[in-house]
Amino acid sequence: MELAKQRVLVTGGSSGIGRAIAAALLRKGSAVSINGRDEARLRAAADELGCDGIAGDVGLEADARRIVSSFVERHGGIDVLINNAGFGTFGPLVDTETAAFEAVLRTNVTGCFLMGREVARHLVAQRSGAIVNIASTAALRGFQGGTAYAASKFALRGMTECWREELRRRDVRVMLVNPSEVVTDFASRAGYDQEVTDKKLRSAEIAHAVVAMLEMNERGFIPELSVFATNPF
C-alpha cells in the first residue's frame, strides 16, 4: 500500500502508541484523523500533529457510527482503520469489580468491534483497505492480575482472526499488532508505576511496525506481529 494520500482513522490517537502511529502516517503523506474521548486532550494533540480530531467514545454505538461517518464526510471515504483505543485495570481476581471488568471490555472489545464493523462496510464496498487492531502480548499469555485486560486482548485477537477470514476474500487486509511493554502514560492511567529505562520499547517502535505492515504490496500481508524489546531487563 502506498501510504501517501491514504485516508486513515486512528482511535486512541491523543497520546502514546496511537499518537505515534498518527505522526508516522502523516510523515508518509496520509490524510489522518485521530479520535479520543477527552476533547481538550484530543484538540491539543491534533493541533500539535497538524491533523484533525473527532471526539467520541468508541464503546458507544452511536458515537462509533458518528466518528466513522464524520471521517468519511471530511475525507471523502476511508482506507485504513487503526483500532488502537484501549485501557487496562489490574488486580487480583477476588478484588475485581464487575463494573471495572465490563468497562475494559466495552472499550477494548466492543469499541473495536463497533469501529471495525462501521469501517468494514466501507472497505468491503470499495474492495480495498486495511484494519490494524492494536492488541498486546497479553493476547498471547495471561498473567497474574490481568483478568480484565488479558480477557479483552484475547477477545480482540479472536475477533481479528474472524475478520481476517471474512474480509481477505473482499481484498481487505486485517492485521494484529501485539506490543510488549511500551513506555507511555498507560501505566499511570491504570494506577501503577512503570519503571522507565532506555531498554524498554517506545511508541515509535510500534508505529514503525504498523507502517511497515501497511506498506507491503497489497497482494500480501502480515496477519499478526508481536513486538518485544530486545533486552528490557
pLDDT tens profile 133-162: 999 999 999 999 999 999 999 999 999 999
Q: Which residues pair with 179 in a beta bridge?
A: 227
pLDDT surpassing 90 at residue 190? no
What mean pLDDT is reported for the chain?
96
Distance of alpha carbon 90 from alpha carbon 2, whole angstroms: 39
**Which cell numbers in the block locate residue 208?**
514503525
The per-residue pLDDT for 153 is 98
pLDDT surpassing 90 at residue 194? no
- Burial bucket for residue 179 (CB in 10 Å: 0-12, 13-18, 19+): buried
Active-site residue, from 71, 90, 113, 149: 149
Instruction: Give domain 7-227's CATH architecture.
Output: 3-Layer(aba) Sandwich (3.40)
User: Span 13-25, mean pLDDT?
Assistant: 97
Distance of alpha carbon 101 from alpha carbon 152, whole angstroms: 9
The per-residue pLDDT for 159 is 98
SS (H, E, C) 39-62: HHHHHHHHHHHCCEEEECCCCCHH
Q: What is the pLDDT of residues 67-112, one digit of tens each?
A: 999 999 999 999 999 999 999 999 999 999 999 999 999 999 999 9
**Which cell numbers in the block locate residue 87?**
485501557
Res. 46 pLDDT band, cuts 50 70 90: very high
**Which cell numbers in the block locate residue 175?**
492485521
User: Span 25-50, mean pLDDT?
Assistant: 98
**Which cell numbers in the block locate residue 26?**
502523516
* Catalytic-residue membership of 192: no
The per-residue pLDDT for 192 is 75
The per-residue pLDDT for 43 is 97
* Contact status, residue 164 vs residue 146, Cβ threshold 8 Å: no
Around Cβ 209, how many Cβ atoms within 10 Å? 21
User: Span 174-190, mean pLDDT?
Assistant: 87
pTM of the predicted model as reported, rounded to 2 decimal places: 0.95
The per-residue pLDDT for 195 is 84
* Contacts of 102-107 spanning 24+ positions with Cβ under 8 A: 104/148, 104/149, 104/151, 104/152, 105/148, 105/151, 105/152, 105/155, 106/59, 107/57, 107/58, 107/59
The per-residue pLDDT for 185 is 78
Domain ranges of the chain: 7-227
The per-residue pLDDT for 180 is 94
Helix (H, G, I), strand (E, B) or coil at 198: coil
The per-residue pLDDT for 191 is 74
Distance of alpha carbon 177 from alpha carbon 163, whole angstroms: 15
User: Span 217-223, mean pLDDT?
Assistant: 97
The per-residue pLDDT for 98 is 98
Percent helix / strand / coil, the chain, rounded to 5: 50, 15, 35
The per-residue pLDDT for 156 is 98
